Amino acid sequence: MADSDLSDNEPTTRTLLRHVLDTEAPRTPRRRQSTRAGVQRALPESPFSMRLRSQTKTTPRRQSHRARSIGRLAPHIQSKGQLKEQTPRTLLENILLTAPESSMVMPESVVKPVPAPQVVQLSSRESSPGSLDLQLPELNPPTAMAPSLLTSGKRKKRLRLSEFQQGMDQGLPLSQGPVMEPPANTGASSLTSSLNLTFATPLLPQSVQRPGLARRPPPRRAVDVDIFLQDLQDTSVATALPGDRTPVATLPTDTVLEDTQPFSQPLIGRSPSVHHSLPHPSLSAERTVSRRTRSSGPGLQNNSPEKPAQLLAGKAEKVDALAMGFPNTSNGTSAEDELKPLLDRDGEEVEEIMEESMSLDEVKEAAGAQASARAEEPEAHMEVTEAEGSWGAVEAKEPERSSRDKDAEARPELASSAPDIPQARQLEFLEPAPSTSTAGLSAEPLPARLPTRVRTAGPRLRQDPYKMGLSHYAKLFSFYAKMPMEKKALEMVEKCLDKYFQRLCDDLDVFAAHAGRKTVRLEDLELLMRRQGLVTDRVSLHVLVEQHLPLEYRQLLIPCAFSGNAVFPAQ
Amino acid sequence: MAVAATLSQRKRVKRKAPRGFLRRVFKRRKPHLHLGTRCDLLVHLNCLLFIRRLAEESRTDACKNKCGIIKDQHVLAAAKVMLKKSRG
């Protein structure tokens, strides 16, 4: 744009506006007192405004104008208490006052300090109530003065800068030769040098701050490894364990879902269902030790309930607690509900599976699963109690079991690191499942019981993932109910869901058979929902799908037309 | 086509359906039957609706008995009604 006749170097919007304001006659009369007050107000403002302005030439003019404008504003403010009069002029002035000036060429830092005092002088000079007539002459002198001001300012700035730079040179390693010297074109290079300097310093604090923001690798606990190694040695040493058997691994229970704590304390001796199934290496060592001591003592019978309890506990942190739990569990007085059925089942298992203990051992060796170890333990115990002769056999099994347990525990430990522990356990249980399913243990787990049971790998296999799936829906139930619920209620919900699944499968079977098909299709499902009263003439299946399923499933279920005359999913 | 495109943007599905679980349950009960491609999603929808109705029913039961907590007898009573309703 062409330079205004005010000979501004950069015709910024601000300068143009200013020019407009200057040339335009003010509408409101100016009052002396107000102007003086405005001037006083302007004076402290001037340095600030000067900082905002990069152009020294126009600054004095602006100062005067600002003083005048402030003076103009002052009466408004004083008289009306608020800036009620909103003329375009006042608005523009406000904008000019408040908006920071940004110059493309000249950074403000140069202009700042020097012109301020001089501008103050100017403003003071011009602050005297000036009429319109004065404006023009004021304009001229300021323009005349401006260049001199500029040069003087720059010279001063240069000097200051050079001094500063010298000081900085000594202090900072960031000395730039050419930059530091007073530049030929005065302002710019000095400014750039100052700018460089200024920019240099903040780099340091940033770099200092970086480490704080930098990501550190999460601190790993080395203790576990040490303990693990110790336990490995211990277990390798303590191969012969009388009585107490297998420490077995952790029983997967659907409590795994609920309890996310890796090492939760046992409530009383062992709280099997509540505890996380993560096996702790130290525990095995402790258990083996404790078992040795315990087995040495009388009461192998205690061991049998003890073992399953141990199994249930998964990782009972305190072996002492376990030891204490022995007598408790033997009485079945433990507070845990799960222990009772466990004990009952243990009795049943023991009676039923005694003869199968040997086969189970073999299976266990083959499978290496902990479940069978657990199952064997009670049986082994019972055997021992009943026939001392089999003691040796039990002991023979023990080393295998312990070694297997060690391996098994090592495996689950590794697996436990993975997020899905239940699945890992499921895999382990899968192995012994087929073999033990035939055992015909009282497999029918009480549907109300959570799968804390050790009973046998068979029913457990069916139960654990099944229970987990059911508990997934039970959680949804508690969400939909929006009311606090008892745990028994949740179990009841799981029972109902079980029955519901049975009915669902039967109905789908009937519908598919009616259609002469062996595959259940979407239309069977729709028919089922229609019969249930979910889908009516008013509410279609698609509406329900849209309401209750997430987007990805909706896209899969509801056919939608896409470009190219394609429909997905294809019908 | 378009489905794949959208899935790549957002790989986390909220409230996933346990498709594997449903398939396994069906296979276990009816080994001679096959379950269609997307039928398990509808089964999941069915379960959701069933549980929703069950929850509302049990909530009304609990409120009727002026209980702040849902107890298993409420759930039992509600289930009786619901299983009758969704007899199909």
pLDDT, position A282: 46
Crossing angle of helices A115-127 and A58-80, rounded to 10°? 50
| Gyration radius from chain B CA atoms | 18
Mean pLDDT of A338-365: 45
Kindly report, residue by residue over A251-282, the tens digit of the pLDDT: 444 444 555 665 655 444 444 444 444 444 44
pLDDT, position A228: 75
Task: Give the pLDDT band of residue A78 (cuts 50, 70, 90).
Answer: very low
Q: Do A533 and B46 touch (CB under 8 A)?
A: no
Burial class for A146, CB neighbours closer than 10 Å (0-12, 13-18, 19+): buried
A489 in Cβ contact with B70 (< 8 Å): yes
> From the CA of B17, how many Å to the nearest CA of chain A?
9
Q: Do A522 and B62 touch (CB under 8 A)?
A: no
Q: Return the structure tokens found at A419.
A: 């997020």
pLDDT, position A551: 87
Is the pLDDT at A210 greater than 90? The verdict is no
> From the CA of A47, how many Å to the nearest CA of chain B?
54
Chain A neighbors of B26, CB-CB under 8 A: 505, 508, 520
Tell me which residues of chain B have a pLDDT lower than 70.
1-10, 88
Q: How far is CA A571 from CA A289, A554, A566, A568, in A?
A: 66, 15, 10, 8
Kindly report, residue by residue over A364-419, the tens digit of the pLDDT: 444 444 444 444 444 444 444 444 444 444 444 444 444 444 444 444 444 444 44
Chain B neighbors of A478, CB-CB under 8 A: 55
Kindly report, residue by residue over A24-48, the tens digit of the pLDDT: 655 655 555 544 544 444 444 455 5
Is the pLDDT at A340 greater than 80? The verdict is no
Task: Give the pLDDT band of residue A480 (cuts 50, 70, 90).
Answer: confident
Q: Return the structure tokens found at A486.
A: 């008892």
DSSP A315: S
Q: Do A465 and B24 touch (CB under 8 A)?
A: yes
Note the helical H segments in A482-540: 487-514, 522-532
Contact of B65 with chain A, judged by CB distance below 8 Å, is answered with no
A309 in Cβ contact with A294 (< 8 Å): no
Kindly report, residue by residue over A221-250, the tens digit of the pLDDT: 656 677 778 877 777 766 555 544 444 444
> From the CA of A521, how many Å to the nearest CA of chain B?
5
Q: How far is CA A152 from CA A121, A155, A163, A544, in A?
A: 15, 5, 16, 81
Kindly report, residue by residue over A91-149, the tens digit of the pLDDT: 888 877 876 655 555 554 544 444 444 544 544 454 444 444 444 445 455 445 545 55
pLDDT, position A188: 46
Partner-chain residue, chosen from A488, A503, A531, that has the shortest CB–CB distance to B72: A488
A269: Cβ contacts below 8 Å, ≥ 6 apart: A309, A316, A321, A322, A324, A325, A326, A328, A329, A334
pLDDT, position B69: 86
The whole-chain average pLDDT of chain A stands at: 58
Kindly report, residue by residue over A518-550, the tens digit of the pLDDT: 999 888 899 999 998 888 899 998 999 999 988
Chain A neighbors of B39, CB-CB under 8 A: 520-522, 524-525
* pTM for the model: 0.36
Contact of A433 with chain B, judged by CB distance below 8 Å, is answered with no
Coil, helix or strand for A520?
A: strand
Cβ under 8 Å to A: B residues 3-62: 3, 6-7, 13-18, 21-22, 24-26, 28-30, 32-36, 38-39, 41-52, 54-56, 58-59, 62
What is the ipTM for the molecules in this complex? 0.91
DSSP A297: S
Coil, helix or strand for A412?
A: helix
User: Which domains are seen in chain B, by residue range?
Assistant: 17-87 (1.10.20.10)
Cβ under 8 Å to B: A residues 495-534: 496-497, 499-505, 507-509, 512, 518-522, 524-526, 528-529, 531-534
Q: Return the structure tokens found at A196.
A: 């460089």
Kindly report, residue by residue over A443-463, the tens digit of the pLDDT: 444 455 555 555 556 666 667
Report the 10 Å Cβ neighbour count for A346.
27
CA distance A471 to A190: 74
pLDDT, position A154: 53
